[in-house]
Chains A and B, each alone.
Chain A
Amino acid sequence: MSANRKQKAVDPILMSVFARTFRSITDEMSASVVKTTRSPILCEAKDFVTGLYDAHGNMLEQTENLPILAFSLGPVCKYIVKYFGDDIHDGDVIFHNDVFSYGNQNNDVAVYKPIFHDGALAAWAAVKGHQADIGGAVPGGYNPNAKEVWQEALRIPPVKVYDNGKLRRDVWDLIFANIRFDIVQHDLKAQIGACTIGDRRVRALLQKYGRGAFETHKTALFDATEKMMQAEIARIPNGTYSGEGTVYFDGHHQGSKFTIRVTITVDDARVKFDYSRTDAQTDGFVNGTYTSSASATLLTFLQFINPDIPHNEGMVRPIDIVIPEGTILNARYPKATTFGNHLCPPNADAIIRALAPVIPDRVTAGWNNLLCSLTTGVDPGTNEKYVDIGFMGLKGGSGAMRGVDGYDHIGMIDASGGVLDQDYEMFELQTPHRLIQHEYICDSGGAGTWRGGLGVETRFTIGSDATQLVTFGDGDFEPAFGLFGGHDSMLNSIELNYPDGTKMVPRNKDLILGVPKGTLYRQVAGGGGGYGDPRQRDRSKVAEEVRNGVISPQAARDIYGFDGEGT
């Protein structure tokens, strides 16, 4: 009786200690990944997520460096628990990337490690990161020509690479025999290491407080978080709201476009996102998976509520997401899906458009959409191969909201300022290119009472012959939109000016071969949308921005109705 009472009694203080400790564990796992990985996608751009889950795969906490990967880890964990059933042991390590069993993108490979206490499965530690290569037809995985998953990647359904603490050498070798670069092995070892750190600390926590207290307080923590989320949802008026976002070009059919349609139903303390009316899947790699699309929905919704909410299972309980199979957001086996993470911006557009009339003071205007390029070649100075992902060029502005301007040069909403520019001098050291310009663009922030974040212009000369350029993204057909009288921003664009004077504009999903040395690369990442009538913008701000050259005198006069001469 007393033991029972002990288990049931919730100590609100201990609950706080658990919550804080979970977060510190996932942060520590994250720090370990940054320091030990070699691929710049992981250690510089932080394209990975760390998390802890309970024995059933319910999310305890996550450190979401790049949010778009974040909300696939829990569903996969649940799948793994079901898949292996009784056959899960202390010392197991499981890999997974399969997009047809809740993975979000082929390149995002997750490592799961079960955590045992008193001989029973108690929790899971997991790290999912974007690998430099995952097999398939094209190095790095972005293959605009792919139509099926096998042209994109090696599929890894749940597989044990360690069994009871013993490396399964044959399985390990099978996997890495199908992946081009050795650093992927090193980086996955680093991910396993980070899971071990999580394992140790959760074990210590269980030893200290016991399984009973852990379970009781975990449940209470979920309930408390659920209450927080319900309170956030309850601040949105009941009703059904619809919005649309557009995807341009599937990589195969010039002029093709697809519509994402969301219907959001708010019913007191629950919210449902229903994508049933969304267009059908495409023939190419421009398709989402359920978890990449649901991640996009969640991370967008999280932008519009209290940012302090803990990220655990309780947070997602009051949220239903319906994405029928066969739509562009949830492609049917065996479709190609590598572009799926980048369907987040148009998905976010649809959600914002639906909610803007209902919670006008909490949504932002449209964010700049991703348009990315990647150059590879041989550096004539060192005779070595280089790969550069153009992080600095792709980061446009975020949308403004009531009371706050958009964030300048933040990048797409699915990273929300988590992906950083290359340092200019490291860029010139690691590639043969020479940077000419990387600056804010005047008038790129959508005009408004609150202005959209600024976009940037990037120009560099390409320093190697026979350079290969890959582009993937969007935002070159439709700019970030303004709200409530705020203006749209400008379009994304990439162009190549060859030394012979010809100009070439790649498509937004393209593969260009043989770009010669001396070619001038130019990219525009547009700004974010503005919010409210520009004529209402604080005059002293307009004056300051004219002085700083981020609003032109002409725009100040014509759009902002500003006749002052500055201060």
Chain B
Amino acid sequence: MKKDILIVDNDIDFINQLEIMLTTAGFAVDKVFSKAEAEKYIQDKKPDLAILDLMMETPDAGFALCYHIKKKYETLPVIIVTSVTSETGFEFNSSTPEGKSWIKADAFLSKPIRFEQLKREIDKLLEV
């Protein structure tokens, strides 16, 4: 049974590329383009893992979405992938205790991402 990964991002090309890489790596991919669509999606579906963009409808949409996902499915692993650091210089880290206290995501990656790195995080979170 293939593991199901939800991708939420408003950049269609990023989604396309991720979809190609993830499908090739043996995952099933569901994609939506906004926080709003993702909220709707999680109402009746539960993926095995979610990859979220940070800046969508609002600059912090990814954080809010992550919070909602975790509220509904406490154990569902969430990875936030964003270009916020390269664009604004803001740095976030979900692995420090301080970061963990408010960023609910399990991992935080900066765009441009290396696929091997993302794959490593996914494998770790899904305990493949």
Our verdict on whether A and B bind, yes or no, reads: no
